[in-house]
Every structure is written in structure tokens, then in C-alpha cells.
Amino acid sequence: MLGLLAFMERWKPGSTQGFEPATADQIATLAKPHGGLNALPRVYRDFLETMGASTGSLRLTYYGTTSISALLEDREDLQRERPDARRYLRFTMGEDDEYNTTGRRDTDDFFELTRPTPDGRDAAIIRIHEEDLVRGKGEVEQPFPTFSDWLRTIIVFRVGFGAEPKEQTRYYDLESKPEVPAKAYDFLTRLGFSLTELGASSAVIPLEHSEYGAIALIDAPTASIPSTGLRLRARDKAQQRILEEVISDHEDELSGG
């Protein structure tokens, strides 16, 4: 989390103001039905201890919240059936939206506690309505492989790609060949890009070029988006044009050609 805060302040000074940690009692209460504190993925505990009570002006969900107080308050409804706490831990809660025509709250995000990462610090995540998860019906989405991938992607979008003018962020739809993410990574590192404090995985790779004041994000193919995506943005428009020209000249190479 310290690295995440440093990255945010570098790209958008003041963006971490208003972060409030959850209390130890809140975290313990949230963890209790799932088997105690050790049942929480370590990266999620770090998140709660940094911004579990409030993320300030940073919006991590389009509709809903990650607030631990909201999660705990909702749990007070003892009449509602819940998913198996040994398997699922909810970390975002959808909300009712005036534009939602389905007649029910937006989807929630859950950890699949039975699918931890090899190092045990994280776990797979899914997105679904809570009542559908209980009943074993409805469509299960996997927006990102893990909580870490979810968080690092949102942070890069909010503090980097979301800056005005938004159209300055350039998106490249590369091929679906499995070797493309590695080729894109190798190409960008040859240009001088390097990994950031956010870390990376085989699915989500944020990169930064300190000299050019640029940031890039490589997204590996998923079931819903079967091709590798590359987003690029430089603070300076002239530098942005130079990088776009370089990438355009090598787009075949980036696509695995």
C-alpha cells in the first residue's frame, strides 16, 4: 500500500487525501464469519488498514462502495441468506441506481477464498449479485483475476488515464496470440519503460517512463476481451505524439507478427 500511495501522489498530487483506515475492531468483525483475520487475503487486510473506512475522493467502483462500515451494516440484516462464508468474502457492495432498470441493486464483488494465489497473499475474485450467488444461478463475471489486478488497474485509470483531456489516452487493440503481452512488455522496456510500485501480474502490467512522463498498461486477453490491450498516456502532448508514432511503426511486432 505504501507503494500504491507513492504512485498516486506522483501522478495526481493530493489524490490520497481523505483516505481513512478501518479500525482493528471493524476488520476483526468483518473477518469473523470467514474464519478470523488469517482468512482475509493479506493484500485485502493491507487495503482495509489503509483506506477501508474511506477512499476520499477516489472512486473505486462506478456504483457501490468498498466502505467497511457499509459492508458491516448490510450484514446486520440477519433475515437474508448469505453465500458460504468459508468460500466467499464480499469486498464491494452494489447500490441502487436511478438508471438501473433491472429493479435490483448492482452486482457485488467477492473473493473466492478457496482459490488463493500461490503465495497466499491474494485470491481470485468474481462479480455477481449476492442473491444469485446464494441460489447458484445468474452470470458470474471475473472482471480481473485477483484483487491486486483489480486495484492496480483502477488506480492507473483514475490517476493516470482519467486525467483531462481524456482523449489523450491512446488505446491499442493487439492480437489474441498468447505471446503478445510478453512481446508488448519487452518492446516497452526497450523504450525505457519499467515496472512501478503497483507491481504486476501476467494479466495486468502497469509500466512507467519517468523521463518521458508516460504511463502504459498492458492487459492480457480475457474471456470477455479476447485480445491484448495496450493503453498509453504521456503528460506532455508532444511526447505523446512521439510515443504514438513509435508504437504505430512497430504495431505488427507488438501484435506478434
CATH H-level, domain 166-254: superfamily: TATA-Binding Protein (3.30.310.10)
Question: What residue spans define the domains of the chain?
Answer: 2-147, 166-254
CA dist., res. 149 & res. 50, Å (int): 17
Cβ count within 10 A of residue 191: 15
Q: Architecture of domain 2-147 in CATH?
A: 3-Layer(aba) Sandwich (3.40)
What integer pLDDT is reported at residue 167 of this predicted model?
Answer: 81
> Rounded to an integer, what is the distance from CA 69 to the centroid of its chain?
21
User: Could you tell me the pLDDT band of residue 225, with boundaries at 50, 70 and 90?
Assistant: confident
Mean pLDDT (the chain) is 91
Q: Please determine, for residue 249, whether its predicted confidence score (pLDDT) is greater than 60.
A: yes
Cβ count within 10 A of residue 144: 22
Q: Which residues pair with 209 in a beta bridge?
A: 214
What integer pLDDT is reported at residue 98 of this predicted model?
Answer: 52
Q: What is the pLDDT of residues 78-113, one digit of tens each?
A: 888 999 999 999 999 987 655 555 556 789 999 999
Q: What is the pLDDT of residues 119-153, one digit of tens each?
A: 999 999 999 999 999 999 888 999 899 999 999 99
The proportion of the chain whose per-residue pLDDT surpasses 90, expressed as a percent, equals 76
Q: 173: closest CA among 228, 117, 217, 101?
A: 228
Q: What is the pLDDT of residues 167-180, one digit of tens each?
A: 889 999 988 888 89
- What is the dihedral sign for C-alpha 119, 151, 46, 31? negative
- Cβ pair 48, 27 in contact under 8 A: yes
C-alpha cell at 34: 470467514
What integer pLDDT is reported at residue 153 of this predicted model?
Answer: 96
Q: Which residues of 215-250 are buried (b: 16+ CB within 10 A; e: fewer)?
A: bbbbbbbeeeeebbbbbbbbeeeeebeebeeebeee
Q: What is the pLDDT of residues 15-56, one digit of tens each?
A: 999 999 999 999 999 999 999 999 999 999 999 999 999 999
Q: 126: closest CA among 83, 73, 173?
A: 83
Strand order of the β-sheet with 229-234 is 170-173, 229-234, 214-219, 204-209, 194-195
User: Could you tell me the pLDDT band of residue 185, with boundaries at 50, 70 and 90?
Assistant: very high
What integer pLDDT is reported at residue 163 of this predicted model?
Answer: 83
Name the more confident of 222 and 141: 141
CA dist., res. 241 & res. 212, Å (int): 11
CA dist., res. 64 & res. 58, Å (int): 13
pTM: 0.90
Query: What is the β-pairing status of strands 123-128 and 229-234?
Result: unpaired
CA dist., res. 159 & res. 57, Å (int): 11
Name the more confident of 102 and 2: 2
C-alpha cell at 129: 449479485
What integer pLDDT is reported at residue 222 of this predicted model?
Answer: 82
CA dist., res. 22 & res. 3, Å (int): 19
Fold matches, 2-147 and 166-254: no
Local structure of residue 166 (DSSP, 8 states): G
